[in-house]
Amino acid sequence: MDAPTGPSGPSGASGDVVVTLLGKPGCHLCDDARAIIERVAGELDVRVEERDITASEEDTRLYWEQIPVTLINGVQHDFWRVDENRLRNAITELRERR
């Protein structure tokens, strides 16, 4: 679950935005979040990474009750559910500020 995915691949052609999904195996809300994140990432050409919180005691402690958690460039954006429009707007606004 740690390998970067998405249209820009590991090198990140977009380079400016990385969306990270924190989740765990067997999490149906994580599956729902992944579908939304991948759709938005494909439209906006951003890199997507996933991190399995069960691989790290710290991640498990911090995020167990919040998954799925969405980070944009390492900053928590959302948890439990991903709102497609809110994610799209956050990425667009981040790019406009640069």
SS3 annotation, the chain:
CCCCECCCCCCCCCCCCEEEEEECCCCHHHHHHHHHHHHHHHHHCCEEEEEEHHHCHHHHHHHCCCCCEEEECCEEEEECCCCHHHHHHHHHHHHHHC
pLDDT at residue 11, as a whole number? 36
Per-residue pLDDT at 4: 41
pLDDT in tens, 15-71: 589 999 999 999 999 999 999 999 999 999 999 999 999 999 999 999 999 999 999
Contact 71, 19 (CB under 8 A): yes
User: If we measure between CA atoms, which residue out of 27, 11, 15, 96 comes closest to residue 60?
Assistant: 27
Domain boundaries, the chain: 18-97
Confidence of residue 90 (pLDDT cuts 50, 70, 90): very high
Sequence-ordered list of residues with C-beta below 8 angstroms from that of 75, at least 6 positions apart, any chain:
none
Its pTM stands at 0.82
Give the pLDDT of residue 70: 98
* Fold classified for 18-97: Glutaredoxin (3.40.30)
